[in-house]
Structures are given as C-alpha cells and as structure tokens.
Amino acid sequence: MSELSHVIHNVGSRAAARREPSAARRIAMRCVSIAVGALLAGVVGSGESSAQVADVDVRTTVFSEPSPDSAMTVLNPSIKLSVTPWDALSVHAGYEADIVSGASEPTKSGGISPDIVSHASVTDVRHVASGGITLRRKETTLSVTYGYGMESDYRSQSISVTGATEFLKRNTRLELSYSRGFDQVCNYNYADSLAPTLRPRLDSSTGCFTSADDRKTDDVDIDSFQGAWTQTWTPVLATQLVLTGGLQHGFLGNPYRAVVIGAGGQLAQEHHPENRARGAAALRMRYYIKGVDTAIGLGVRGYNDTWDVLSQTYELEAERYILKWLRLLVRGRYYSQSGALFWSDDYTGGEPKFGPRGQYWTGDRELSPLSSYLLGGRVLMNFHGVPGDRIIGMFLNLDASFGLDVIKTNLDEFTWAGGNVSDTFATVASVGLGASF
C-alpha cells in the first residue's frame, strides 16, 4: 500500500548542494528523508523472506531547475541488488551517481553591490557504492551497511547499523538506527590562523586531493540517529512516528562561495559555525477507505537545530487502485522555515562599521527564511508470480513506476544583489523498474 519501497533515493548531489543549491532541491530531498529508514527495512530487512531470492531495483531521477541565469540539472541513476541465500541472511549492494550540470552564483551580495552578480558553470559527477548484510531471526533484523562516495572535491565514507523488531502479531514495529559519516571536503589552503574575513574562496576543484600547494582537505564528521515506531491499529489504519537527530562537526560551509562583507566590496569565503546539532519529529498516518479502494495519507514534521533554523512540513497524499496491478498516487506538500541565527541578505550594514554582522556569514539560500509547495503524482504497476508460474517465465515479482513532482519555492529575503531570484521552480521526474527472481 505504501510507496516507501519506491521512494526516490536522492535528488541532488553534495556537489550541487555546496555550489548554491536552490531551496527547491533541498525541499525535494527533505520530502523523502523521513522514509529512508523505512526504505532500508522494507527493501533488505523485511521479516518475510524466502531463500534463494534475488531482488534488483533500477531507478533514475532527473531534477531540473530551469532558469535564464542559473539553470541546474541533476541526473541520478541507481541500481540496487539484494540476494537472500538463506532465510536468515541477505546480502545487498548498490551504486548510484549524481551527474550535475548547470550554473551557480559564486559570490553573494546584498543590494549595495548590484554589479557583482556573476554565474559560474558547474559540472561534476558523484559516484557512491554501498554494500552490507541483513541478519534475521524470527521477527528481528539487524542490518549493517557501508558506503563510499567520491567526486572531484568531496569524499565520503559511512557505516550504518539498523535494528528492528516486530511483535503483537507483527502489528507493532520498532526500529533504531545509527550512522557515522567520515567526509572530506577540498578547500583553499589558507592558514588556520588567517582571519575568516581574509579567507579566499576555492575557485575550482583542480588540484583537489593531491599534493598541490594551494589545496587542503578539511574533515566533516557526521553522526545520525533515528528511531521509528510503526503501528497497525486496524486492518485499514496504520501510523508511524519517526524521531531523528544529527551532529555535524567540521567545515560546514561552501568552499566555492564568497560573500560581500564590507561596504567597499570586501569579499570573504562563506563562514559557518563548525558544529551543528539537528533534531526532528515526524508523524504519519495512512487510512484505507474500502468503499473507494483508496488509501489516504497525512503527515506532519517539525525540525529545529542549533543554528536556530525552525521548520514545519505538512503533507497529504491519496493512492488508489485503478486495476489489480495498477495504482495511482497524488500528493501535495507545504514546507516553511525560519532563517539561521546569522542569516542576512546584506552583511555590509552592521556593526562594527567595517565588517559583517556578527561572527558568521553565509550566502546559502537554504539558511534564509523560505517556504515551498510541492505537487506530484506516481503511476505504480505491480505484477506477482509464483515459483511454478513466473512472470514471462523469469520473475516472481515485477514492478515499474513513473513519477513527476513540481516544486515552487518562495524566498522571503534572499536576493541576487537586491534583485529577484529566477531559479525558484523545479521539476523532479523519476522512472523505476524492480524485479524479484
């Protein structure tokens, strides 16, 4: 009934996110973030399993942000394979890529410097490979996954552990997960003692992760926690409560972005705090209306962090069986957030007379006050076979999905040198094919 097993795994890359991502891309990624734990459990850690079963899932997502000045496209193909040689063990592996092309604004200024707006070409490819195992014993599962990602200016390693159990006739499911990320970001090789107001931005990824004198590597440590309680109350009503937390430490800004911090046009690399703690709570409900063969889903999510970003998300979806093998899902979502404590669209007007407001400055629109609307739909097809009667003689199960979301973002304060921002509309198209042998 749920679309969790068909959710988009990723919409944009870290490379795009560090090079002036739109709020729309962040919202699109946020739309699926609370389902990632359930996706892992549903794909490779479900209690129902059969020996000698292999599952293959191939997906492609295309994020498009048209703009006359700052267009961006992210192509995200992925493939996942899970093999269950015995009921107690599954082995899974996956690969995905983010292919980014477009333009970004390397310098952020307020209205005092209207001539400083410029656009730089952005192209990059991110590769991520992952693998792990899932152990099962009756209604309990334990999964361990390792992932490694690389691109021209960013490298990441992560290990995650997820444990889940079901009880009360499998109507109650509890899940806990923890992941640790060991990331590295390329940066300009300035001395740590150099004042932040004098630090230059990184102009390109050339020389990154080499012995080049003008390049260095900064660490980013990421700890993520999640707990989920999924409850089936009746045959037609289920709820899910998800609590998430995160800790980040290291270089958390964009090395490519400069910010105008002085009335005379003084530039400095974006400067963020080195620590950030996050917390969120999400509650989702799904109710099946028998008379119209339709499932209605409601969701609400609240978020807060130590940078004083406070957000709320509300979502509504409806999924209807058109035929036994064909479903149609439509959904809508509203999101809004406050700005970070150190956010400003213009850092040149504060105290002291020559310098920014406060200790930190940013050109990231994702830290500004904003709101977003999403409307979208999915077409999902599922075909089921049995060992003695496989689909086209090969598959136990076969599914396909096609989806399209449109996202409109309202930026309350963010401008390009006092002017309107043109890249506030985006589309996310997806196509997927899954099979069980």
Residues in the chain: 437
Q: Give the model's pLDDT for residue 123.
A: 86
Give 369-426 pLDDT, tens digit per residue: 999 999 999 999 999 988 888 988 889 999 999 999 999 999 999 998 888 888 899 9
Give 98-130 pLDDT, tens digit per residue: 999 987 778 887 765 544 455 567 789 999 999
Q: CA torsion angle for 345, 101, 219, 198 (degrees, to 10)?
A: -40
**CA neighbor of 90 nearest in space, from 53, 139, 134, 48:** 134
DSSP state of 198: G
* Phi, psi for residue 209 in degrees, rounded to 5: 60, 35
Neighbours of 170 (CB within 10 A): 11
DSSP state of 41: H
What is the DSSP track for 296-309? EEEEEEEEEETT--
Q: Give the model's pLDDT for residue 51.
A: 58
**CA neighbor of 134 nearest in space, from 164, 91, 83, 180:** 91
Whole-model pTM: value is 0.84
Q: Which fold has domain 4-436?
A: Porin (2.40.160)
**CA neighbor of 117 nearest in space, from 10, 2, 20, 240:** 20
What is the DSSP track for 62-110? EEEE--TTT-EEEEEEEEEEEEEEETTEEEEEEEEEEEEEEEE-SEE--
Per-residue pLDDT of the chain (437 residues; tens, 9 = 90+): 333 333 223 333 333 333 333 333 333 333 333 333 333 333 333 434 445 689 999 999 999 999 887 889 999 999 999 999 999 999 999 999 999 998 777 888 776 554 445 556 778 999 999 999 999 999 999 999 999 999 999 999 999 999 999 999 999 999 999 999 999 999 999 999 999 999 999 999 999 999 999 999 999 999 999 999 999 999 999 999 999 999 999 999 999 999 998 878 889 999 999 999 999 999 999 999 998 999 999 999 999 999 999 999 999 999 999 999 999 999 999 999 999 999 999 888 655 444 456 789 999 999 999 999 999 999 999 999 888 889 888 899 999 999 999 999 999 999 988 888 888 999 999 999 999 98
